[in-house]
């Protein structure tokens, strides 16, 4: 696909998100979601990969079901008197459609199947940018149905932390990590809005750092890191991963700490569930890191010093010790 076409699709992708985020009515928000979807699908297409085309079709079908459900809910919302439904029931339908589009548990399996066929760049867009519009729309409805929010929060926390334990693919591990972090984002819905977007911004930065390095070194599986990377390179690869898991005193820990101290008086039980789920994820990341560092290297051809060294160092610094910058913002 030509660079010009990719640029046009990226502009449409951004425009669709902004349209959904700035819409004054639900139907316009749906149009923004559709523009976003229709511009992301061609980016997923790769003529040389059957797996990527399969992922494209799965993503299209699931997102279409979510879009149809959302449109159906908006039509009912605009004609409530005709359907004799309560507002809470309609909000329930809208939230369910948005949860499906987000890939929140228990509607998460499509994301696990899709990520394996995508490049790291598209994986980053999938777990970060593609979540912005549904999250913004959801903030208008989710607190009207609190029990539903708690259900998805607990399910995402548990499945997102445990799901990665049985996989050796970094793409699937990052997908499960995304599901786990959705639980923290759901928790922040009941808090001041700046906490939600501060957490999301830090999450996106750490994800970008990890996926940029995996893309740079062409890493997809754990055994690749264990066997073919030098100790120095392994260190730089795993530091942002530990930050994503919330290891103190890295940036990922402090972003979670802000939510904990703000939400602990609202629901101690939910906060404890989030903390324990984060412990499980962190334990797994530590296990991967230590096992990789202690393993024998058969080759040292992958060194950290290359043309991307300066950018990598900046990203590593921000994703590990850059919290003051986000607080100031």
Q: Of 144, 35, 39, 129, which is closest to residue 95 (Cα–Cα)?
A: 144
Average pLDDT over every residue of 312-318 = 63
Query: 111 near 175, Cβ under 8 Å?
Result: yes
Please report the pLDDT score of residue 228 as a whole number.
Answer: 64
More confident residue, 290 or 308: 290
pLDDT in tens, 101-118: 999 989 999 999 999 889
Average pLDDT over every residue of 292-321 = 57
Report helix, strand or coil for 221: strand
pLDDT in tens, 236-295: 778 888 888 888 878 888 889 999 999 988 888 999 999 999 999 888 888 888 777 776
Please report the pLDDT score of residue 302 as a whole number.
Answer: 47
Local structure of residue 297 (DSSP, 8 states):
P
State how far Cα 278 lies from the chain centre. Answer: 15
Query: 176 near 280, Cβ under 8 Å?
Result: no
Omega of the bond prior to 106 within 30 degrees of 0, cis?
Answer: yes
**Gyration radius from the chain CA atoms:** 20
Neighbours of 33 (CB within 10 A): 27
Please report the pLDDT score of residue 321 as a whole number.
Answer: 61
State how far Cα 280 lies from the chain centre. Answer: 18
Average pLDDT over every residue of 133-141 = 85
SS3 of the chain: the string is CCHHHHHHHHHHHHHHHHHHHHCCCHHHHHHHHHHHHHHHHHHHCCCCCHHHHHHHHHHHHHHHHHHHHHHHHHHHHHCHHHHCCCHHHHHHHHHHHHHHHHCCCCCCHHHHHHHCCCCHHHHHHHHCHHHHHHHHHHCCCHHHCHHHHHHHHHHHHHHHHHHHHHCCEHHHHHHHHHHHHHHHHHHHHHCCHHHHHHHHHHHHHHHHHHHHHHHHCCCCEHHHHHHHECHHHHHHHHHHHHHHHCCCCCHHHHHHHHHHHHHCCCCHHHHHHHHHHHHHHHHHHHHHHHHHHHCCCCCCCECCCCCCHHHHHHHHHHHHHCHHHHHHC
Q: Of 185, 56, 25, which is closest to residue 119 (Cα–Cα)?
A: 56
Q: E strands within 152-307?
A: none
Sign of the Cα torsion 329, 135, 247, 227 reads: negative
Query: 124 near 244, Cβ under 8 Å?
Result: no
Neighbours of 202 (CB within 10 A): 24
pLDDT bucket at 140, cuts 50 / 70 / 90: confident
């Amino acid at each position: 696909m030509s660079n010009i076409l990719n640029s046009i699709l990226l502009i449409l992708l951004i425009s669709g998100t902004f349209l959904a985020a700035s819409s004054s009515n639900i139907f316009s928000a749906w149009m923004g979601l559709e523009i976003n979807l229709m511009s992301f699908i061609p980016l997923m297409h790769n003529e040389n990969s059957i797996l990527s085309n399969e992922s494209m079709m799965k993503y299209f079908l699931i997102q279409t079901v979510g879009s149809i459900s959302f449109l159906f809910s908006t039509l009912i919302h605009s004609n409530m008197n005709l359907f004799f439904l309560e507002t809470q029931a309609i909000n329930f339908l809208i939230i369910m459609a948005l949860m499906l589009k987000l890939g929140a548990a228990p509607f998460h399996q499509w994301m696990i199947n899709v990520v394996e066929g995508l490049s790291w760049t598209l994986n980053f867009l999938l777990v970060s940018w593609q979540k912005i519009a549904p999250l913004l729309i959801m903030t208008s409805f989710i607190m009207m149905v609190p029990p539903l929010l708690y259900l998805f929060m607990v399910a995402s926390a548990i499945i997102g932390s445990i799901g990665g334990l049985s996989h050796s693919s970094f793409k699937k591990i990052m997908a499960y990590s995304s599901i786990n972090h959705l639980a923290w984002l759901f928790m922040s819905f009941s808090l001041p809005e700046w906490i939600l977007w501060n957490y999301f911004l830090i999450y996106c930065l750490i994800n970008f750092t990890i996926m940029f390095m995996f893309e740079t070194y062409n890493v997809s599986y754990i055994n690749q890191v264990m066997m073919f990377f030098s100790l120095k390179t392994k260190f730089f690869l795993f530091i942002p991963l530990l930050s994503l898991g919330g290891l103190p005193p890295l940036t990922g820990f402090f972003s979670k700490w802000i939510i904990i101290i703000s939400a602990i008086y609202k629901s101690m039980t939910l906060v404890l569930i989030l903390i324990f789920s984060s412990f499980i994820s962190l334990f797994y990341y530590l296990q991967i890191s230590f096992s990789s560092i202690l393993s024998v290297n058969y080759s040292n051809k992958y060194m950290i010093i290359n043309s991307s060294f300066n950018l990598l160092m900046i990203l590593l610094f921000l994703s590990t010790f850059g919290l003051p910058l986000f607080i100031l913002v």
